[in-house]
Amino acid sequence: MLSQPIEFKQINKQFTKFVIPSVIGMVVQSLYIILDGIVVGQGLGEAALGAINIAFPFGMLTVALSMLIGIGGSNIYSIYKGQGEPEKANNLFCQSLALLAAIGAVLAFGGFFFRRDIAVFLGANEELLPSVTAYLKWLTPFMLLQMIVMGGATFIRNDDAPKLIMIASVTGSIVNAILDVIFILILGYGIEVSAITNGVGMLIELAFYTTHFIRGQGMLRLRKPAFYGSEIKRIFSNGFATFLMEFSKPTITFFFNRALMGTVGAISVSAFSIVIYASSILNMMLIGVTQGAQPLMSFYHGKGDRKIFSHVYKKGVRTNLIIAIIAVGLFTLFGDKVAAIFVSGNPELASLTAQMLRQFAPAYIFIGVTLMNILLFQTTEQNTLATLISFLRCIGFVQVFLLLSLFVFGGKGLYLTFLAGELCHFILSQVLARKTNKQLSIKIVETEGVFHEAPANGGYIVTISREFASGGRSIGRKVAEALNVAFYDKEIVGLAAEKSRLSAETVEQSEEKAEQGFQYGLYLGTKYLPITDQVFIAESKVIEEVAGKGPCVIVGRCADHILRDNKNCIHIFIHAPLEERVRRAVEDYGLPAEDVAQTIRNNDIARESYYNHYTGAEWGDAHQYHLSINSTIGIDQCVELILHAVRTSLAKNPSSNSHLAKESSQNLNEIATI
């Protein structure tokens, strides 16, 4: 039989397609962070590195809060948008923007006027206090801008403008880096410039984002918001797990800075700053793999395909382990060379950095698995478990081991406390992940039991895939009429809309439109999937349901792949030369002759991209179908070929449903055979 379960190599292609762009994006971000550290270290010295590291947790608080509102709000915005409620969606955006501005204003004004107190609280001693205060003086005023830019970007991305976000962020980062080099390395300005150039980069991003509103692109509009307590609560609830994940690293940095400053001194904070910079690329790569796996895991969990879901999860774990082990090996071998990249001419700092890095880096072996376990909880909507592990990574085992090292062992093993804490997070998350996997397996077995107890559909389903303007829809309708069976084409849109609680217009607009790359962060479960994924899952379930009711003809929508394990299916692909399709598009479909060829190509590209994206197979590949027919032989002749295939299949297996076989044979006998 042609239909076989999807091979893992096809899923591996999908995994690579999602993960590589995600990892590249994260690596680019981390390279900018590292470059910033190198410029500051080489231009201003180890004291400046230590000062920036002391201020780092306060700066990251802004990032975490912007993601709390941005991710939490954009999730709900996408839901309203998918449900066909643009006014509610836009008001949600305006509420979120107001929250971002309010929180940003508190951080900016509070941070500026209390910068010295904040520096002392963060752990600055007399040696570093002047530098930390000077840095915060210029960092804090831009926090209002940073909140609006980072939080607003998540909404603009969800408003179908991911390319604008990419261009804006890349341009802002490049300008920031260039200004750092000019003003710090060449002109010799102080630590304040590092904060100012970061603000300039934010201003450039904001300038790009304003064009989205000036041009009136997308659905977002700037309006005075109507505030609703229930929606604000929902924003905070949806964004809380993301906030915890964003804030875990600055929390750990804060506690380590305090501990190091009190035991070893300022030089250890400078060494730790280098460790943070160097390990950022490893951390970002692990996050990139996890984020790349998220759409696939969410999608296949929503689709109920436990086998592929598990395969993607395990592949993500293996990939993170390989990356972490290689990186730890490099850090172990070349740890003494890392410090020299950031600060030259200080052997004591280089030695301390190498020692710290070799004991700090192995924790990422466990972090990579823990991140995938958190993703497992999120994609299966085990939100409490995801929040628990995320919270413990902020304030949990690492802090416990720090306290033990300081007050019980007199500071011994201080550098190993991070490894010990992440090992505990790993063990706990593994125990919970195994329990979750076991529960999911039980649910799948129960579901399969119900399925097998249901009546067999007993008859042949014909699926028709087709090139645009090849006549596939007309052929399918005539086949359904000849067989006297149900015909499904646009009818699936209405059924999918009911199942997904999206509007029919949204479902129709999302058909044959595949989301490219990872855009949505680590969201909580399938309800925050991109709209196109929600539509595909809904249509897949509709197709399985209508096929389970009895024989029918289904046009398009990857039905051949969705029903690939149904042995009572015949899969057809209709194609035709471009010139014939141009003629049909103009004469039969009424399309204007001008640019019709390009219209046909664009539709074919969209169908191919959609099919390949969601199936992992190749659209139009003859191996995917029982019959591939060139419709230039004539519509009626194509119908006859398909009917002959159905009749032959019924003759080979008449017992599948004797009543259907008899009725279909009577219908077929009325049609001329080939």
Cα–Cα distance, 309 to 298 (Å, whole number): 8
pLDDT for 83 equals 67
Q: Is 112 exposed, middle or buried (0-12, 13-18, 19+ CB in 10 A)?
A: middle
Evaluate the CA torsion angle 169, 173, 179, 180 in order and state its sign: positive
pLDDT for 454 equals 34
Reported as half-sphere exposure (CB side, CA atoms, 13 A), residue 594 has a value of 0
Helices (H) and strands (E) in the chain, counts: 25, 5
Task: Give the tens place of pLDDT for each residue, 257-314.
Answer: 889 888 888 888 888 888 988 888 898 899 888 877 877 787 777 667 788 888 999 9
Asked whether residue 472 carries a pLDDT value surpassing 80, the answer given is: yes
pLDDT for 459 equals 66
Task: Give the tens place of pLDDT for each residue, 94-106.
Answer: 999 999 999 999 9
For domain 455-669, give the CATH number: 3.40.50.300
Closest CA to 107 of 62, 49, 171, 41: 62
Evaluate the CA torsion angle 549, 553, 554, 559 in order and state its sign: positive
The more confident residue out of 359 and 71 is 359
Cα–Cα distance, 199 to 176 (Å, whole number): 8
pLDDT for 653 equals 65
Task: Give the tens place of pLDDT for each residue, 510-541.
Answer: 665 555 443 333 333 344 456 777 788 888 88
The DSSP secondary-structure symbol of 381 reads T
pLDDT for 81 equals 73
Quick check: helix, strand or coil at residue 104?
helix
Burial readout 86-103 (b: 16 or more C-beta within 10 A, e: otherwise):
eebbbbbbbbbbebbbeb
Cα–Cα distance, 89 to 160 (Å, whole number): 14
Closest CA to 108 of 145, 140, 149, 135: 140
pLDDT for 5 equals 42
Give percent above pLDDT 70 in the chain.
88
pLDDT for 37 equals 83
The more confident residue out of 418 and 167 is 418
- Average pLDDT, stretch 361-373? 94
pLDDT for 443 equals 54
Cα–Cα distance, 508 to 497 (Å, whole number): 9
- Average pLDDT, stretch 47-76? 88
Cα–Cα distance, 540 to 548 (Å, whole number): 12
pLDDT for 46 equals 86
Task: Give the tens place of pLDDT for each residue, 21-60.
Answer: 778 767 776 777 788 888 888 898 888 888 998 998 998 8
pLDDT for 293 equals 83
Q: Is the pTM of this model over 0.75?
A: no
Asked if residue 269 lies in contact with residue 257, where contact means CB atoms within 8 angstroms, the answer is yes
pLDDT for 168 equals 87
| Residue 603 CB coordination number (10 Å) | 16
Residue ranges of the domains in the chain? Answer: 8-42+264-454, 45-239, 455-669
Closest CA to 295 of 281, 314, 315, 309: 309
Closest CA to 18 of 300, 322, 288: 288
68: its two tokens = 């709390």
Evaluate the CA torsion angle 523, 526, 527, 532 in order and state its sign: positive
pLDDT for 294 equals 78
**C-alpha separations of 164 from 331, 354, 541 in Å:** 36, 40, 34
Which residue's entry shows tokens 């060829």?
597
pLDDT for 478 equals 94
Closest CA to 256 of 67, 29, 419: 419
Task: Give the tens place of pLDDT for each residue, 215-271.
Answer: 887 788 999 999 999 999 988 987 887 788 788 888 888 999 889 888 888 888 888
Q: How many residues comprise the chain?
A: 674
Q: pLDDT grade, residue 137 (50/70/90)?
A: very high
| Residue 372 CB coordination number (10 Å) | 27
Which residue's entry shows tokens 């017992």?
655
Cα–Cα distance, 355 to 336 (Å, whole number): 8
Asked whether residue 76 carries a pLDDT value surpassing 60, the answer given is: yes
Asked whether residue 213 carries a pLDDT value surpassing 80, the answer given is: yes
